[in-house]
Amino acid sequence: MKNNFLKGIIHGIPIALGYLSVSFGFGITAVRAGLSVLAAVGISASNLTSAGQAAGVEIIAAGGTLIEMALTQLIINLRYSLMGLSLTQKLDDSFTVPHRMLASFGITDEIFAVAYAQPHKVSPFYMYGLILISFIGWTSGTFLGAAAGQALPPAFTSAMGILLYGMFIAIIIPPSRKNISIFGAVLAAALISLLFEYVLTEVSVGFAIIISASAAAALMAIISPVPDEEGEK
Amino acid sequence: MSIAVYVAVMAGVTYLIRMLPLTLFRSKIKSRFLRSFLHYIPYTVLSAMTFPAIFYSTGNTITAAIGTIAALITAFFGLPLIVVALAAAGTALLAGFFI
């Protein structure tokens, strides 16, 4: 049990370091959008999600409705459901329902990727180690960015605003290079999103993301559906 | 509206999305369309969130565009997440000194 926990922590160190710098950018963005340091850290500690939080802060700043907030989180974070489904095949026998309920809090793109890449089934304490170190990186980075954001030179904090988006690009570009359908989906989503930004400007930011992402994914699901025998990937 | 209410909705929805499938689901999704849709969703969400928001992320469209190009190039060569993110911020910062 202890060994697995430690192993999880060690495997999570690269994730934590990445999160530390990216969430620093989130902390700055949140404070710039008018949130308090406590609110920024509270969002990071309770959500542990990059894209969802960034959209959430935009909606709060724009005074959006709670329905818009709930729907936006649902669509943006829907991928975690799919990752959760894949992970069910990867959990060892000691993963009882309470363990599943606790560990599910920590499903993120990177934590899923590391857990899924293990050659054997994973235990609850391995997952807790992985999640804990990542969680510490994410929340402490948010705190530092939110608290120190005001003290740093404006040129520095302005540039840090791009960190989170840089991480998104790092996630979407490599698979786009290998798979033309994924590239098509990425391109379609970006183009529809641009349409909302510059032409259909009356649509709010949350709904613009939902519609752009859903339409592009549906389009590619029709043009290039995944193979029938998809295996466990 | 109180920020706490927004945060509670955000966190609640996000947790349920993660918890329900992992806890309850044991079989495979049958619909090929739905599986394909879910396959593309992570990429389309991140793309729609990034473009065009990234161009406004530094408060200056030119520095943001330069940072974006740096991110695209480093990501294209498959460099680690942290390197791509820092390359974007670093070039945007440098560009800011010249503009």
- B9 domain-assigned: no
d(CA A146, CA A199): 33
When scoring B7, B19, B22 by the number of chain A Cβ atoms within 10 A, the one with the most, hence best to mutate, is: B22
Write out chain A's pLDDT in tens, 233 residues. 679 999 999 888 878 887 888 899 899 989 989 999 999 999 999 999 988 999 999 999 999 999 999 999 998 888 788 778 778 878 888 999 999 999 999 999 888 878 877 889 999 999 999 999 999 999 999 999 999 877 888 888 788 888 878 888 988 899 999 999 999 999 999 999 999 999 998 887 777 888 898 999 999 999 999 887 544 44
Split into its structural domains, chain B has a count of 1
Predicted ipTM of the assembly: 0.88
Residue B75: domain span: 30-98
d(CA B70, CA B76): 10
* Token reading at A130: 């992985």
| Pairwise CB contact (< 8 Å): A51 & B46 | yes
Q: Do residues A4 and A129 touch, judged by C-beta distance below 8 A?
A: yes
| Pairwise CB contact (< 8 Å): A182 & B86 | no
- B51 domain-assigned: yes
Kindly report the nearest CA distance between residue A165 and chain B, in angstroms: 6
Closest Cβ opposite residue A175 in set B36, B43, B96: B43
- B2 domain-assigned: no
Residue A151: what are its φ and ψ, rounded to 5°? Answer: -80, -25
- B11 domain-assigned: no
- A162 → chain B, closest CA residue: B57
Q: Which long-range contacts (CB under 8 A, 24 or more apart) does A45-49 make?
A: A45/A135, A45/A139, A46/B7, A46/B10, A46/B11, A47/B7, A47/B10, A47/B11, A47/B14, A48/A105, A48/A106, A48/A108, A48/A134, A48/A135, A48/A138, A49/A76, A49/A77, A49/A80, A49/A108, A49/B14
- B83 domain-assigned: yes
Q: Which of residues 20-59 of B touch A (CB under 8 A)?
A: 20-23, 25-26, 28-29, 32-33, 35-54, 57-59
